[in-house]
Structure 1
Amino acid sequence: MAVKTLTINNRLISARESDTLLDAAREVGVHIPTLCHLEGVSDIGACRLCLVEIAGSNKLQPACVTKVAEGMEIQTNTEKLQKYRKMIVELLFAEGNHICSVCVANGSCELQDLAVEMGMDHVSLAYQFPQRDVDLSHERFGIDHNRCVLCTRCIRVCDEIEGAHTWDMAGRGHNSRVITDLNQPWGTADSCTSCGKCLMACPTGAIFSQCSTVGEMAKERSKLEFITTARKERKWIF
């Protein structure tokens, strides 16, 4: 496999030609914030938090879906990028109804962690206060659309790892939302296997276990990467 040489934050590195900029950065210990990225499933570049600056390009590019190229010069943490990332996190808080103090994922939430990382101490944008429902029709799990950030991790993990494709996206723009089985209540979705992979994939408290209370929703996302790796390396032979 060919190797590409590039520069990240003025540091000369080498990467496989199949790597993305996010892969290459993480390989050498360079942190790039993400929200829609999840190890073990495909990337779609939805959250735009992993935007980086590439010399010679007047556009910011998402690191998770941009392949490395010979001679690239990348900056991952400029003042411009910090400003954009903070604005994106503020937009996510303003667009939904995120009240951390009463959320099951309080203390174990990737959106909350990003807000801290970006130094966000308030939301400078007008809150939208959308009217969104909570679906508790499933016997084990629930989904609170108020906390959903439309990262589509639940959709991808259900499709690519579980193979059920229970979850999908409906609507456009402000009306976008994740749905189950052609917009049926989750509890009546015949395709759902109740595996819980969507719960483990969710970065916030949007998908939760009904036995969890405030601050109890710790998720083991490494299990999803383990399953994918085990399948790829044929560690499970039936």
Structure 2
Amino acid sequence: MAVKTFVLDGQFISAREGQTLLEVARESGVRVPTLCHLDGLGEVGACRLCLVEVNGRLMPACLTRVAEEMDVRTQSDRLRRYRKQIVELLFAERNHVCSVCVANGDCELQDLAMQLGVDHVRYPPQEPECAVDLSHDRYGIDHNRCVLCTRCVRVCDEIEGAHTWDVAGRGTNARVITDLNQPWGDASTCTSCGKCVMACPTGALFHRGSSVSESAHDRETLHALIVAREEKRWLV
């Protein structure tokens, strides 16, 4: 496999052809913030938090493949400004109130806000009408907390193979849906595996009965399932 050499934050780096900038950065110990990325799932570049500067241009690190003569910067005042703005816009788009959320203390959006110094939101709240679906006997979805990262869609499609979840609507009317917009409890394709709940970065998907700060996303179990599937352990 061909090797590509480029500059990453002032240091010459060698990477395998086909690798993304996000993969190489993490292998090199460089932290690049993400929200829609989850190891083992396909990339969609939905959140744009992993923006980096490539020869002066803003590019999503999760979708940009390494190439010769790249000069990549992962940290700059410009990038910090854009990343903070993105997080603020995510808070303004839906009705995020951390103090009453089941994922308070275990939320990737909340963590990013603290890391980027988001102590207030400069943009007017959209305050859309977002429903809470408790029709499933095990899980619930609160669309107020959803950031449309599509992790649930991808883990259901790529790992479970059910493709119960999808996205419908545009702009502020976009919502994740189950089985052509049926209530989750009526979705005949749902296997009740819970992988979507494990994958969710916020409190949008949760176990029924969870109260404030009680939701815990079991990333280790999900990662183990993804690795086992990739290695085809159950086919041996």
Contact 1:142/1:208 (CA < 8 Å) preserved in 2? yes
Contact 2:142/2:204 (CA < 8 Å) preserved in 1? yes
What is the number of equivalent residue pairs in this alignment? 236
Contact 1:135/1:144 (CA < 8 Å) preserved in 2? yes
Instruction: Render the CA deviation track for 1:187-234: whole Å, top value 9, x for unaligned.
Output: 000000000000000000000001211101111223233222222223
The aligned residue for residue 27 of structure 1 is 27
Contact 1:158/1:165 (CA < 8 Å) preserved in 2? yes
Aligned with residue 62 of structure 2, among 64, 69, 73? 64
Relative to structure 2, which stretch is displaced further, 213-222 or 111-120?
213-222
Pairing of 1:99-178 with structure 2 (within 5 A):
99-178=97-176
The whole-number CA distance in structure 2 between the counterparts of 1:227 and 1:221 is 10
Cα distance change on mapping 1:225 and 1:2 into 2, 3 Å: farther
**TM-score scaled by length of structure 2:** 0.97
Instruction: Render the CA deviation track for 1:4-50: whole Å, top value 9, x for unaligned.
Output: 11111101111111210000000010000000001111000010000
Pairwise CA RMSD? 1.0
The aligned residue for residue 233 of structure 1 is 231
The whole-number CA distance in structure 1 between the counterparts of 2:232 and 2:183 is 36
Contact 1:3/1:15 (CA < 8 Å) preserved in 2? yes
The aligned residue for residue 51 of structure 1 is 51
* Same amino acid, percent of matched pairs: 65
The aligned residue for residue 92 of structure 1 is 90
Which secondary structure state, in structure 1, belongs to the residue aligned with residue 232 of structure 2?
A: coil
Pairing of 1:6-21 with structure 2 (within 5 A):
6-21=6-21
> 4+ residue stretches of structure 1 with deviation over 3 A?
none
The whole-number CA distance in structure 2 between the counterparts of 1:94 and 1:28 is 34
Contact 1:103/1:205 (CA < 8 Å) preserved in 2? yes
The whole-number CA distance in structure 2 between the counterparts of 1:77 and 1:210 is 40
Contact 1:143/1:208 (CA < 8 Å) preserved in 2? yes
**TM-score scaled by length of structure 1:** 0.97
Contact 1:40/1:224 (CA < 8 Å) preserved in 2? no
Are residues 1:206 and 2:200 paired?
A: no
Contact 2:140/2:206 (CA < 8 Å) preserved in 1? yes
Gaps of 5+ in 1: none
Instruction: Render the CA deviation track for 1:149-189: whole Å, top value 9, x for unaligned.
Output: 00000000000000000000000111100000000000000
Pairing of 1:176-187 with structure 2 (within 5 A):
176-187=174-185
Gaps of 5+ in 2: none
The whole-number CA distance in structure 2 between the counterparts of 1:18 and 1:211 is 44
Relative to structure 2, which stretch is displaced further, 170-179 or 214-223?
214-223
Contact 1:155/1:167 (CA < 8 Å) preserved in 2? yes
Aligned partner of 1:229: which letter? V
Shift of residue 96, structure 1, vs aligned partner: 0.4
